[in-house]
Structure 1
């Protein structure tokens, strides 16, 4: 009987045994960070795996304990093939993300599907534009098309640094951006700089990104529930959660995966993601979508990044607050001016009662903002 084996993935490393996991000749794999034995135990590594499971990906646990997402070979390959079809055909990939998250795993799956050895960025000392440039040049010298995948924070650093890292980034035929929302202003800056950036939306449960630049990949269905939550279907869907039939039944029903993300369709049919439903702020009886406020803040040239949260308030239920990272630490933005801009464009309920300038936003997982840690930080400023 096939078992699940935990594989430690060092920074800048790949997933050993992935090819055998996909063709069924080896055990199913659970990629984990070095030393994360607690996760391996929680997801029953070493025990028999459910049928059709090739890889188990641990979710980031943003809303509670981590769950193990069961992905079949068919789902992973369908995602990889659809990505290549959208980008213009198979090519050589540079792995610049941790391979124990779905985005990194998919870079490796796409490489296997293309029959091309991926380049691997050494991230043991963190992400640095100079090491990215070196790794990218090694990939770009090979013939054919070239791709990589980044989180927005990495893109921010490459654009801010300029030089060799940005020059190398311009050489890729496609640069997937995922793991966290990409502000419109950051995307515009990248495109203006000559970067072939493509925003992606998806999660472990969909084998990674399944909506590119607001439009679903081939075979992927997108719809909105009555309360505006995004629902996804297609061949890239996971088989469920490891050892958790109740959670599986709640999230996967009738061929659709029910996300906790809110969205809307634009007039041209593109999907816009508004953020997680449980991040919605209700202040004085008015629903405030943090993403809308963040877009106004990030549109300002002196704001590099922004995160908007709701903190408990005795009178209003919640109060809107924001943290912003300055584009230039020497000349940080004036909080009151930012507040007035939001008030003018979105209305008084959307205007943060307090805006705090911070050096950096706390992150978790593959570049997602750690909203819990940030809420604790901002609570301390009250």
Structure 2
């Protein structure tokens, strides 16, 4: 008899996470009740449609996770318990052994779910901070022994500014879900934070490359079509999408569509989504690199970068930046700042000021959402403010 998928709403409190979602994850891992957790807010309806809980579930799937939709519509990724367990096992090996986890991420995304999976498999109970609780107070409630957490770069930046001593209490702070600026990573490590960058996605049961080095059993190669990953952490495919599954999964490997390179020592450098690369004047510009350079400007708190059609250059680099309170960055100041660090083609040719960078439910910057909003508003003049605050949620590394 075909198995049916159990779909839980987004938990609205730490009690709901520990009392409802955690037992459901335990049941999913032992194969008794396949599970999916909806994201909060407007994304829930679209996720439920993707999950199709009334339809029979594909063989072998124990957890179904809806992706962020950063390259279009979200997909339901079919994860077997074996892939989740393999990921948790090699993560513990890399970090120095099992430990207690602090949950700072939504459990609708693979990063948050993996905190629960690792806790179940380690025989521990994660600590879920209460709304508005300081990081230090949450850490004080954690068990003794090895302590871990996972967060997106924005969270790391905030905690590093407000509570660096609390971050130092962790044996590892996994940082991912979006590109981590090298300068931010350097500041964290100089402050004594055991920050570990992660690369992976829902299709690889979360992070599978830490600090550029694949986890045990994970195989990585780079082709002209992007980074390709293999190993026991792979998903089975996509919910009700055999064609998409056949395209992305073949020969025991997953084609990520991320650009990257492998160094002589086998260390992976991720350059961003192939679809996000801006080709301006025949030069490929990685938006993530430009965003990192902009965030280092003293008048910029955050930034998102994308391309727009341009009659002269093919595409032009467009920057939407969140100003530091009281500052008013302009294109004349930001262009040379970026050019000095990345070269002239990377310097933005169009600038917008926004209230905050919206994110998808996984924590990735909603680059397409910002571009669509600005286009819908008719292309605001340079230096104008587009209020994009309050859209999206947070996800994170895994």
Give the TM-score normalised by the residue count of structure 1.
Answer: 0.91
Q: Distance in 2 between matches of 1:301 and 1:170?
A: 26
CA contact (8 A) 1:152 1:367 kept: no
Residue of structure 2 aligned with 1:30, choices 24, 36, 54 = 36
Per-residue displacement from partner, 1:111-169 (whole Å, max 9, x unpaired)?
Answer: 0111011111234xxxx5x4333222101xx2210001111111122123x2xx43222
CA contact (8 A) 1:335 1:356 kept: no
SS in 1 for 2:257: strand
Q: Which structure 2 residue ranges, 5 or more long, are not aligned?
A: 382-398
Q: Distance in 1 between matches of 2:34 and 2:97?
A: 28
Q: Distance in 2 between matches of 1:46 and 1:173?
A: 42
SS in 2 for 1:56: strand
Q: CA deviation at 1:32?
A: 0.7
Per-residue displacement from partner, 1:297-345 (whole Å, max 9, x unpaired)?
Answer: 234444333222101223322111112334x422454542321132234
CA contact (8 A) 2:331 2:348 kept: no
1:316 aligns to 2:316 (yes or no): no
CA contact (8 A) 1:57 1:69 kept: yes
Tell me which residue corresponds to 1:252: 249
CA contact (8 A) 1:339 1:355 kept: no
Q: Distance in 1 between matches of 2:373 and 2:363?
A: 18
Number of residue pairs matched?
369
CA contact (8 A) 1:275 1:289 kept: yes
Tell me which residue corresponds to 2:91: 83
Q: CA deviation at 1:185?
A: 1.1
Counterparts in 2 of 1:129-168, with a 5 A limit?
A: 130-139=133-142, 142-160=143-161, 162=162, 165-168=163-166
Counterparts in 2 of 1:31-70, with a 5 A limit?
A: 31-34=37-40, 36-70=44-78
Tell me which residue corresponds to 2:232: 235
Tell me which residue corresponds to 2:292: 295
Q: CA deviation at 1:378?
A: 4.3
SS in 2 for 1:119: coil
Q: Distance in 2 between matches of 1:30 and 1:339?
A: 45
Q: Distance in 2 between matches of 1:150 and 1:189?
A: 16
1:197 aligns to 2:192 (yes or no): no
Q: 35-44 or 55-64, which moves further after superposition? A: 35-44
Q: Distance in 2 between matches of 1:153 and 1:345?
A: 22
Q: Which structure carries more relative contact order (alpha carbon 8 Å, separation 6+)?
A: 2
Q: CA deviation at 1:97?
A: 0.5
The Cα RMSD (Å) is 1.9
SS in 1 for 2:289: helix
Residue of structure 1 aligned with 2:343, choices 339, 342, 347 = 347
SS in 2 for 1:321: strand
CA contact (8 A) 2:114 2:206 kept: yes
Q: CA deviation at 1:267?
A: 4.3
CA contact (8 A) 1:200 1:213 kept: yes
Q: Distance in 1 between matches of 2:343 and 2:153?
A: 28
Residue of structure 2 aligned with 1:72, choices 69, 80, 91 = 80
Pair 1:176–1:345, CA change in 2 (3 A): closer
Tell me which residue corresponds to 2:325: 329
Counterparts in 2 of 1:4-23, with a 5 A limit?
A: 4-11=5-12, 12=14, 13-14=16-17, 15=21, 16-23=23-30
CA contact (8 A) 1:5 1:46 kept: no
Tell me which residue corresponds to 1:381: 380
Q: Distance in 2 between matches of 1:295 and 1:150?
A: 18
1:362 aligns to 2:361 (yes or no): no
Tell me which residue corresponds to 1:187: 185
Q: CA deviation at 1:179?
A: 1.2
Q: Distance in 1 between matches of 2:141 and 2:341?
A: 46
Tell me which residue corresponds to 2:108: 100
Q: CA deviation at 1:205?
A: 0.1
Pair 1:34–1:341, CA change in 2 (3 A): closer
Pair 1:54–1:289, CA change in 2 (3 A): same
Q: Distance in 2 between matches of 1:317 and 1:351?
A: 15
SS in 2 for 1:232: strand
CA contact (8 A) 2:259 2:274 kept: yes
CA contact (8 A) 2:160 2:167 kept: no
Q: Distance in 1 between matches of 2:54 and 2:25?
A: 16
Q: Distance in 1 between matches of 2:149 and 2:340?
A: 39
